[in-house]
């Protein structure tokens, strides 16, 4: 089987494998660079991720938070305990089922998370200004595809 402009199936597969490798490295490097722009580097990435989930979902049970973060409940309990000790989250009994515990961000947690996002967004915005309009447009289109890959 041949593809456009004489590309063979083997060439296309190799080309796709190369794209996967280059894309993986680029995304990892960008993620690493963005992580270095964190407001408070004493928080682990798991802690920040849990806080981000709480910011997006509001008050949730420990079990639901663990599931959303794809970690075991005991691990999430340790994460939440540390965040609670720092005053960034609060645990409260579920009013509908007192056996369950609900977790939510405190105002301090929400502000820390927002400051973290502002700092990383500002860094990325400065980098984007250095690109050409065509490069920024290519990234706009790629962002949609990257989101699709992330949801898979």
- Rounded average pLDDT over 70-83: 97
Distance from C-alpha of 111 to C-alpha of 45, rounded to nearest angstrom: 17
For the segment 107-144, what is each residue's pLDDT rounded down to a tens digit?
999 999 999 999 999 999 999 999 999 999 999 999 99
* Mode of pairing for the β-strands spanning 89-93 and 101-105: antiparallel
Secondary element (H or E) of residue 52: helix 45-57
pLDDT confidence band for 98 (50 / 70 / 90)? confident
Phi, psi of 41 (to 5 degrees): -85, 5
Higher pLDDT, 7 or 8: 8
pLDDT confidence band for 151 (50 / 70 / 90)? confident
For the chain, give every domain's residue range: 1-36, 42-152
Q: 4: which 2 tokens?
A: 């456009």
Q: CATH top-level class for 42-152?
A: mainly alpha
Written in H, E and C, the secondary structure of 39-96 is: CCCCCCHHHHHHHHHHHHHCCEEHHHHHHHHCCCHHHHHHHHHHHHHCCCEEEEECCC
Inform me whether the pLDDT recorded for 36 exceeds 90.
Answer: no
- Rounded average pLDDT over 89-113: 94
- Total Cβ atoms within 10 A of residue 23: 14
């Amino acid at each position: 089987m041949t593809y456009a402009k004489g590309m063979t199936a083997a060439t296309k597969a190799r080309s796709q494998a190369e794209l996967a490798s280059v894309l993986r490295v680029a995304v990892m490097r960008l993620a690493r660079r963005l992580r270095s722009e964190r407001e408070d580097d004493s928080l682990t990435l798991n802690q920040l991720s849990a806080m981000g989930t709480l910011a997006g979902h509001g008050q949730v049970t420990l079990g639901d938070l663990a599931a959303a973060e794809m970690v075991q409940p005991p691990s999430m309990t340790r994460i939440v305990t540390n965040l609670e000790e720092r005053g960034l989250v609060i645990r409260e009994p579920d009013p509908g089922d007192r056996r369950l515990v609900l977790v939510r961000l405190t105002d301090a947690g929400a502000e820390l998370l927002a400051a973290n996002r502002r700092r990383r967004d500002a860094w990325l915005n400065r980098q984007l200004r250095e690109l050409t309009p065509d490069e920024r447009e290519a990234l706009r289109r790629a962002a949609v595809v990257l989101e699709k890959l992330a949801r898979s």
